[in-house]
Every structure is written in C-alpha cells, then in structure tokens.
Amino acid sequence: MQKRTLIIGCGLSGTVLAERLASVKDEEVLIIDKREHIAGNVYDYEDKKTQISVHKYGPHVFHTSIKEVWEYLSKFTKWHYFMYRVKAFIDGKEVNIPFNLDSLHKVFPKYLANDLEQKLVRTFGFNKKVPILELKNTDDKDLQFLAEYIYQKVFLGYTMKQWGVKPEELDFSVSARVPVYVSLDDRYFQDTYQAIPLLGYTQMVQNMLTHQNIKLKLKTHFDFKDCKLNANSKYEYKDFGEFDRVIYTGAIDEFFNYTLGRLPYRSLDIVFERFDKEYVQSTAQINYPENYDFTRAVEYKYYLDEKSSKSILSYEFPCAYEEGKNERYYPIPDEKNQKLYEEYKKLTKELKNVHFLGRLADYKYYDMDKTIARALSVFAELN
Ligand code: UDP
C-alpha cells in the first residue's frame, strides 16, 4: 500500500517534503496549515493599489552557496537576479551595512579613516569578515575605539529593538550574521547565488505543490490536545489516524503542549505604508539602529525592479511573541533557550515516524537556503 504522510505547516520545510515525497516516492501527502495561505513566512502577494509585490512577513532575499539548493528551487521558479545592498542611517549618513571600508570613510575624517583602514587590513587581512564581538576583543587601542563606535552605532540600538537584549546576551552567531567587512564589497551577502523568484515566493511554493498526490488543506489546525506525556513521563501521541508518517514544522514547544515550559520567540509588527511617489528611499533596505522604534524600512519595488509611479514600504516594529496575538518569527538563540529546546528534542526521540524540521520545530535561526537544505536532508534520511 502507498504510504500516507501528514505534513503540518505549509512553509518552505513542509512544502519541500511534500514535493519530494509525492514526486520522487510517489507517496500520498496531506499538507495542512492553520493560515489561509500557503508559503508560511515567505508568502508574498501583489498589493492591489500599487501593483507592487510585497512580502507579508517582511523582506526575503534568497541567497545561497549551496548548489544543490539553488538547482532544486530552480525547477520551480525562474529568477530575478538581485544582489542585496543595505544601508544604515548612522550619524545622519547612509552607510553600507555590513559596515565596510567605505562606511569607515563616510563616518570618520580622512586622516582617522585612513589610519583605521590600514590597521584593519593589517590585523585581519583584506576581504575578511570580522564579527563585531570579535572586533571588540582586540588589544589594539585604535581598533578598540572603532569597535566601540560600530557596536554603539550599528549593533546596540538595532539589537535592543530586535531582540530586547544586547548583542552579547545572544548567541555569538546572531550578530556575526552581519560582520564588519574589511572590504569594498558593499553587498549584504557574498553567496554564489542571489536572486528573487521572478513571479514571487508564493508562486514558487504553489508550483512545488502541484503534484496530484498532494492534498492541501488551509485554515486547518493540528490538534495538540492529542499529544501528552503519560504518567511515566513517556511521550505518546494518540491519533495520527490513517497516516504512516508525520512531518511537523510548527513550534516544538506547542507540539508537546508546552509540557516543559514555553520557548520564547520574537515577533514583528510590520506596518505597510503606500506613497504617492516613485521612490521613497535610495535603496531597498535602510536600517535605523539609532532612530525610531522600527528597525528597518524596506521599499519593495526594488526587489523585482517593478515600475510604478507609486511605492510601498514596510516598517518593522519588533516585539515579544504572544500566543494568539501575533506570529512567531524568530527563535531566540541563547544558552537557556537552547537547553530547553534540547529537552524538547529528547521527547521527539520517543516518537516513531514523526519528524521535526524548520525554524520553529528545530528552534534554529535558519535562512531560507538552510531550511531547504535541512528539508532535503530529512527527505534523504526517510529514504
Ligand atoms: N544587526 C544589527 N544592526 C544592523 C543589522 C543587523 O545590530 O544594522 C544585528 C541584529 O541583532 C540582527 C542581526 O544582526 O537581528 C541579524 O541581522 P539580519 O539582517 O541577518 O536579520 P534578519 O534579516 O534575519 O532579520
């Protein structure tokens, strides 16, 4: 008999598994999502009033150096090649982010910028990436001065808004995502492949779900009440009914009914605003570490180079995730949360035929390409 798989969550992880199981293994798949749309947090749509594509859950620019991931997605979408360039508003100037050698010359007088540039190149090498928390550890007094400047101006305010804590209170990897770049390269990413799906992420996901073996049910909740720990604190799941296998891509703590406590997540209040002018800002994304309560402003027409006399921007106001009030966007990578996650992970080992993956189920701050790579590797393990 053909195997049947229930997939919970129709974001990138769930969609990749559905597509692979259906088209490679010819299995039947039911994929459910509590939202009224597919594609999870990469969902995009055309804003009717401006006819510009926007990302409902904030900016998503695809980038990867994993050839396998690029080739896999390329089966479902054509691409608009796009190298991301981000600026931050610092000391009244728009400077490149990651903070690079050009940024240095924007914010410091010439003699000072020249000195610091030479020291940076001599100490770390040209075209090298230096995480801010590493730069802060330097013994050199001038570089300490520079590190403190960048820390204060680029990282502290932004991170306090985004996460509610200082950079050093989070896992090192979070601020290291946007290192200081001893380079003239002004791109946000240096990956081999950088692009945006030509017809959008939603269409790409839609294309992945077309196989006849895949059934999709939106606005459908997974019933967590069926999951509980029994008296011996062994985990049991009662009713997967007709399904041989379950792929779960939602929040891991919710799956287990918060038995061990709640894992915290950050959320965003994303406010969209339309403008009656062609362009509002100089580039797609401007960060505001020092000003306002939002972290960044994104002007969407830059992404697909859409032409319009109007424009639409989003402003992100970070906040804590609260059940029923807003959505989970980011796991919060720190030691305490990682420990709790590990405890939940132990419970998953007691479950046969239930597979956990994705940003929420793995409690990991994955980029889109790492999400796809993880889903492909889970599929390989199922084989
Ligand atoms: N960050 C910062 N200032 C910036 C950009 C990034 O402090 O101008 C820090 C901040 O903590 C942020 C993290 O680096 O959450 C990762 O930034 P990224 O742009 O990768 O965040 P994402 O696009 O995933 O929200």
Q: What distance lies between CA 129 and its chain's CA centroid?
A: 21
Please write the tens of the pLDDT for every residue from 69-80: 999 999 999 999
Atom number, ligand 1, closest to the C-alpha of residue 97: 8
Asked whether residue 25 falls in the same domain as residue 126, the answer is no
Asked whether residue 123 falls in the same domain as residue 251, the answer is no
Is the CB–ligand 1 distance for residue 162 below 6 Å?
Answer: yes
The model carries a pTM of 0.95
> How many whole angstroms from 178 Cα to the centroid of ligand 1?
6
Is the CB–ligand 1 distance for residue 88 below 6 Å?
Answer: yes
pLDDT band at 1 (very low <50, low <70, confident <90, very high): low
> How many whole angstroms from 174 Cα to the centroid of ligand 1?
7
The CA distance from 146 to 137, in Å, is 11
Asked whether residue 15 falls in the same domain as residue 140, the answer is no
**Does a structural domain hold residue 127?**
yes
Share of residues in the chain with pLDDT > 90 (%): 91
The CA distance from 1 to 183, in Å, is 58
**Does a structural domain hold residue 195?**
no
**Does a structural domain hold residue 203?**
no
Q: What distance lies between CA 71 and its chain's CA centroid?
A: 20
CA-based torsion, 135, 137, 140, 141: positive or negative:
positive
Mean predicted confidence (pLDDT) in 334-343: 98
Query: Are 269 and 326 in contact, with CB atoms under 8 Å apart?
Result: yes
Domain holding 112, by residue range, is 97-182
**Does a structural domain hold residue 120?**
yes
Question: How many independent structural domains does the chain possess?
Answer: 2
Asked whether residue 122 falls in the same domain as residue 253, the answer is no
pLDDT band at 264 (very low <50, low <70, confident <90, very high): very high
**Does a structural domain hold residue 59?**
no
Asked whether residue 227 falls in the same domain as residue 171, the answer is no
**Does a structural domain hold residue 162?**
yes
Asked whether residue 28 falls in the same domain as residue 176, the answer is no
More reliable by pLDDT, 312 or 236: 312
Q: Is the pLDDT of residue 240 over 80?
A: no
Asked whether residue 230 falls in the same domain as residue 371, the answer is yes
Asked whether residue 111 falls in the same domain as residue 227, the answer is no
**Does a structural domain hold residue 57?**
no
Cα–Cα separations (whole angstroms), residue 101 to 106, 124, 358, 377: 9, 13, 36, 38
Q: Is the pLDDT of residue 246 over 60?
A: yes
Burial class for 380, CB neighbours closer than 10 Å (0-12, 13-18, 19+)? exposed
Mean residue pLDDT across the chain: 95
pLDDT band at 352 (very low <50, low <70, confident <90, very high): confident
Burial class for 128, CB neighbours closer than 10 Å (0-12, 13-18, 19+)? middle
Query: Are 350 and 229 in contact, with CB atoms under 8 Å apart?
Result: no
The CA distance from 223 to 234, in Å, is 19
Mean predicted confidence (pLDDT) in 294-308: 98
Mean predicted confidence (pLDDT) in 42-66: 98
Asked whether residue 177 falls in the same domain as residue 248, the answer is no
Full DSSP string of 162-226:
HHSS-GGGS-HHHHHTS-EEESS---S---SEEEEETT-HHHHHHHHT-STTEEEE-S----GGG
**Does a structural domain hold residue 102?**
yes
Atom number, ligand 1, closest to the C-alpha of residue 178: 14
Q: Which two tokens stand for residue 323?
A: 């059940």
Q: Atom 10 of ligand 1 has which residue's CA nearest to it?
A: 159
Q: Which of 124-133, 141-150, 235-244, 365-374 has the lowest mean pLDDT?
A: 235-244
What CATH code is carried by the domain that includes residue 243? 3.40.50.720
Q: Which of 11-20, 206-215, 222-231 has the lowest mean pLDDT?
A: 222-231
Asked whether residue 229 falls in the same domain as residue 169, the answer is no
Cα–Cα separations (whole angstroms), residue 303 to 50, 79, 195, 370: 14, 11, 9, 21
Asked whether residue 216 falls in the same domain as residue 175, the answer is no
Pick from 182, 197, 220: which residue ends a domain? 182
Cα–Cα separations (whole angstroms), residue 306 to 85, 129, 248: 17, 33, 36
Mean predicted confidence (pLDDT) in 161-177: 98
SS3 368: helix
Query: Are 284 and 85 in contact, with CB atoms under 8 Å apart?
Result: yes
Query: Are 107 and 91 in contact, with CB atoms under 8 Å apart?
Result: yes
Amino acid 229: pLDDT: 43
Asked whether residue 16 falls in the same domain as residue 119, the answer is no
Please write the tens of the pLDDT for every residue from 4-26: 999 999 999 999 999 999 999 99
pLDDT band at 232 (very low <50, low <70, confident <90, very high): very low
The CA distance from 279 to 313, in Å, is 10
